[in-house]
Structure formats: structure tokens, C-alpha cells
Structure 1
Amino acid sequence: MIYANSRDAYDPYQHRVIENPLSNLEVYISLLKASIGIGCLAMPKAFQAAGWLNGLMSTIVVGSIVIFALHVLLHSIYELCRRKRVPQLNYPDAMALALEAGPKYLRFLSFTARSTIDFILAFYHFGVCSAYVVFIADNLRELTDYYGYTFDVRFYIFALAAPLVSIYLIRDLRSLVPLNALADAMICISIKWFCVCVPVEMD
């Protein structure tokens, strides 16, 4: 491993070549979609259950932990790129290299780090995607039930499989920008409708 010293000015960002770079607007659209999902509509219910003070403090604490963890992760990956003189690293490679350069009693974990991180990421995203599929299916069922068409929720899950799998197969982030923009618009419309049309329940 090549370590950078004070005289070494290697900057990974200067050597990074991106085939399809995103503009600032496209990054903002994608970041907004990644940060603010439809789950924000459940925040009032969560605050109702936790209490406004407990909910506010917990939101700040959890948000601070997430931001700090992301900062440490990105800084660590940047430092590993600088030491190894590579323009970028993915999560599995970064984990393996970090363990190789870490304490001696943890270095044996570097041999299985890549496959472990790949499994964790795949399992996590599978769980998240499954939860969203059930969420979409439940909402579609409620909509069709309102108009008198009753189907089992499993029918909606099956019907959603083909369009969702086709979206999941998109690997280029730039190709997802139009879908992210549409999702952002629908979230804003949903929040506006929720705030205007749903009556506030007073205890």
C-alpha cells in the first residue's frame, strides 16, 4: 500500500473520470428523492406517538448520527483513495482496504470483507424494496376498493413486479433523473393534498 505524505498532493477528484456526469440540478433532484421519501407522510403519526418534545429530540439525535456517520465514511474513502492512488473506490473495496490497513487483529477479515459488504447491501436493498412494493400494493388496493373493485393484495404485488424490476435494472444514475423528478413532484403534490384535504384530529 502506498501512503501519502505531506509532500504528496494526489487528489482523487482530479483523476476521476465519469462517463455520464450529472449537472448540479440533476444531483439536487436525485439527492432530494434519496433524502425525502414518501415516509415523511408518516412523521406526524410518529410525533403523535412519541410526543412533540421526544420526537423532535430523537429526530435531531438520529439525524446528527446519520450525518456524522456519512461524513466519516466519505472522508475515510477519500483518504483510502489518496493512499492507494486510485480515483474512486466502491464500498466493498473500501472496506477491504480499510481492514488491510487497520489493526493487525482485524486484518484477517479483509479476505471476506468484499463478499460480506455485497451481501449486506443486497440484503438491505432487498428488504427496503420489498417494503416499498407492499406499501405501493396496499395503496393501490385501497384506491381500487374505493371504486368497487376488490382484489387480493398479492395480485397488486404480482402486477407491480414487471415495471418495478425494469426500473431496478437501470444502472446509470442519469437515466433515473426523470423518474426522480417525477417522484419529487408526486411527493410534493401528496404532501400538499395531505395538508389541505386531511382534517386534523383534535384530542
Structure 2
Amino acid sequence: MLAIGCIALHCMHTLVDCSHILCKRTGSMSLDYAEVLEVALKTGPEKLRRYSRLGKNIVNGFLIFTQFGFCCVYIVFIASNIKEVIHQFHPGDPSIIVYEVIVLAAIIPLVCVRSLSIMAPFSAFANVLTVIGMVIIFQYLIQDIPSVSSRPAISSVDNMPMFFGTAIFAVEGISLVLPLENNMKRPEEFGGWTGVLNLGMTIVMAMYTAVGFYGYLKFGEDVEGSITLNLPKDQWLYMSVKLMFCVIIYISYSIQFYVAIKIIWPKTRHFFKSKSSHTKGEYVFRITLAVVIFGIAAGIPHLDLLISLIGAAASTALALLLPAFIQMITLAGEPSLSSDDDSEDGEMDAEVQGFSRIPKAYIIKNLAIFLFGLLGWVTGTYSSLKAIVQVF
């Protein structure tokens, strides 16, 4: 978990560094993830320039898949936890699909919110609930915790691809890195050893690792897909935690949904002619997408498998594969990597551009990250799809 987190963090820094280089190269104030790949290809080696628009569409495609995947997971998470709570009082409660329909009904008003600023106070409330919920969870995990020697230290190698997808799903936040830096009052404090990015990811990784470590010691290998589903089912304190996280995830749904809508809607709204039809059409479009997401979630109601599939199939590409590729293209498009290569008239010699100019350390590093990500992408996606097929 720590190794994957460190690699993902390095790739976040790589994307930020490439964004700075490309902004300086083109005179742009800021770039988002898709624009970084587009500009890198457009200003990179000549043979690759024709693929700049395709590169942007690929990134946007992965972003849409990932964000909608998060939304699918959120529906299953909320429905599963509410079902557990209701089941304590009504053992003959309906199947999970009924709860997912109820969640969909509650989500439809949420997806019709067109401005994230409206959600700001609710997001702050969700952060408070998160802290309270985590404190309650950890105090339970460390009570009467078994000895480390009571659990197998190493699991089967066959489980690694599934874990890889789950871990990448957890740490993949690279799509939000550039928007965060671009909207900071002091962007210079984002990077660096003691910057916002390192501090935030260190806290996140510490929490993920602690939940995984102590959760495994407490519950062993026979566990559900979420830490909340493993809490005692008959105590009000822990039932309240499940409901807290349902509220948290419900609020977070709008943020994940907003990212995808921001990409898709501008390409769709030209089908609606008048301004009034624009607004009505957007509402219909948002509700339709919410129903489609519900259909996917209802089709794969297994939280752990859904997380692993989305992590391996989409998050791996965004978190590992594309940043390594982007840095290679960006550096290959640099007219000079040192002042010694400047031509006499102050212009860079275009003939020395290309991959041969990239330092070997960068080539080896990016190739290693790319191959590691590719291995995880192939094996994780295959293992997740195989497990889903076996479940059905």
C-alpha cells in the first residue's frame, strides 16, 4: 500500500511538473489533465502531433469512466450499509436492489445541482462526520486486538491483482491535482517536500495503511468490501457510523458526478437550440446519466469487485501509465535540456529534439513505472472481470 501510494504520489508530481513546463512553453495560465497530454503531443515530436486531439479524448474518457465508476461504488456502498442497519430491526427486509432504487431517488435532486459552491457547506459537514466516524472506527479496531502472529503475514500471490486494483482506486486522485493547484491562492505552496500535495497524501496514506493493518488484525481474511460493513451490527454506536458514512458518500456523489458532467455536457448541449431548452436539456441529461449509473451499480452489487475493476481498468491508466508517457513526450518536445545546447542566435536547435535528448535516468524511471502500471492494469482488470463472472 505504501509503495503504490509513493509511486502514485510521484506521478502526481510528474504531472504537475509537466504542466508547468507546458504552460511556460505555450504561455497558458493553467492546464487541466486532458489539456496537458494534448499540449504535450501538439508541441512534442512531430510524428506524434497529429494525435493531440486523440490524446485529450483518451484522458477525458478515462476520467469519465473513473468518476462514473466512483458513483457506482457510492450507490452500492450507501445501499449496503443502510440495508445492514434496517436488517437489524426488520430481518425480512427487501433485497439490495430495492435500497439502490431508494438511493437513486435521493440522488436525483442532488445531480440537478449545477454549482458546486452550493455544496460547500454540506462538504464541510461531511468532513466533520468523517473525523468523528474514523475516531469511532479506530477505537473499535484497537479493542482486544489479536497478536500480529495470529494472522498470516503474506497472502496468496493470486490475490495481488485484485489488491492492486483496490489500492489504486483508493489513492488515485490525480484528476484533481491540477484543479487544486490552479485554484490555490498561493500555488507555489502546492509542490515541494513540505507542500500541500505531500502533506495531504501522507495523511491519506497513513490512514489507509492503518485501516488496512488494524482492520486485518481485527477481522482476519473473512471480511466484507468496506470497513463499515465489518463493524458490529447490533450496537447503536456502530450503526450510527454506517449511517454517517452514508451521508458522507451521498454528499461526495455530487462532486464525482460534477467532474464527469463538466467534460460531457459541453460536447452535448449543441443539440439543444434555445437557451431555455439548454437548461431543461441539461437537467434531463443529468437525470438520465444518474439512471444509467444506477443500472450499472445494480448489475454488479458487489462492492469489493466493483472497486477493484474500476481501480485496475481506469484508475491505473490515470495514476501511473499516462503521467509516465506525458513526461517522456514533454521532455522530448523540449528544444534543449541544458544551456549548452543553445544555438548562437539564442534559438534552440530543432534538429536535436526527440527522445534521444531525454536523460537515461528519466527513461528508465518512466519505463519502470509504465511497465509496473501495465502489468497491474492487465492482471487487475482480468482478475476483477473473472471474479465478477464467477459470482454470476
Deviations 1:33-88 (CA, angstroms, capped at 9, x unpaired): xxxxxxxxxxxxxxxxxxxxxxxxxx321121111111111121122122211212
Structure 2 residue 135 is matched with structure 1 residue 192: yes
CA-based RMSD of the aligned residues comes to 2.2
- Work out whether 1:164 is the aligned partner of 2:107: yes
In the alignment, is residue 74 of structure 1 matched against residue 16 of structure 2?
Answer: yes
- State TM-score, norm by structure 1: 0.62
Question: How do 1:129-140 residues align onto structure 2 when only pairs under 5 Å count?
Answer: 129-140=71-82
Pair 1:101 & 2:54 matched: no
Matches of 1:119 and 1:168 in 2, distance apart? 20
SS of residue matched to 1:127: helix
Q: Distance in 2 between matches of 1:171 and 1:91?
A: 22
Say whether residues 1:110 and 2:26 are aligned partners: no
1:152 to 80, 92, 95: 95
Distance in 2 separating the partners of 1:94 and 1:170: 29
**Alpha-carbon offset, residue 90 of structure 1:** 2.1
SS in 2 for 1:102: coil
Is 2:125 aligned against 1:182? Answer: yes
1:172 Cα shift?
4.3
Structure 1 unpaired stretches of 5+: 1-58
Q: CA deviation at 1:151?
A: 2.0
Q: Show the counterpart of 1:87.
A: 29
- Residue 61 of structure 1 aligns with an amino acid whose one-letter code is A
Shift of 1:141: 0.4
Q: Alignment partner of 2:28: what SS?
A: coil
Change (3 A) 1:191 1:200: farther
**Once the two structures are superposed, what CA deviation does each residue of 1:99-146 show, in whole Å capped at 9, x if it has no partner?**
112233432321312222211110111112101210111000001111
Q: Distance in 1 between matches of 2:46 and 2:104?
A: 46
Matched to 2:61, the amino acid is F
Q: Does 1:64 align with 2:25?
A: no
Secondary structure of 1:128's match?
helix
Instruction: Report the TM-score when normalising by structure 2.
Output: 0.34
Deviation at 1:174, TM superposition (A): 3.6
Relative contact order (alpha carbons < 8 A, sep ≥ 6): 1 or 2 greater? 2
State the shift of 1:93 in Å: 1.9
Indicate how the Cα distance of structure 1 residues 165 and 109 shifts in structure 2: closer, same or farther if over 3 A, else same.
Answer: farther
Q: Report how far residue 173 of structure 1 moved.
A: 4.4
**Change beyond 3 A, Cα 1:114–1:181:** same
Equivalent AA in structure 2 for residue 128 of structure 1? F
State the AA in 2 paired with 1:90: D
Q: Which amino acid aligns with 2:49?
A: R
- Change in Cα spacing, 1:60 to 1:195, as seen in structure 2 (3 Å) is closer
Count of matched residue positions in the alignment of Structure 1 and Structure 2? 145
Q: After TM superposition, give the deviation of residue 201 of structure 1 in Å.
A: 4.9
Superposed displacement of residue 170, structure 1:
4.6
Partner of 2:312: none
Query: 62-71 or 75-84, which moves further after superposition?
Result: 75-84
Residue number among 69, 72, 89 corresponding to 1:127 in the alignment: 69
Q: Secondary structure of the residue that 1:120 maps to in structure 2?
A: helix
Q: C-alpha displacement at 1:197, in angstroms?
A: 4.2
Cα shift readout 1:12-40 (whole Å, capped 9, x = no counterpart): xxxxxxxxxxxxxxxxxxxxxxxxxxxxx
**CA displacement at 1:153 relative to structure 2:** 0.9
Change (3 A) 1:90 1:106: same
Q: In structure 2, how many angstroms separate the alpha carbons of the residues matched to 1:98 and 1:118?
A: 15
Q: Report which stretch shifted further, 76-85 or 137-146.
A: 76-85
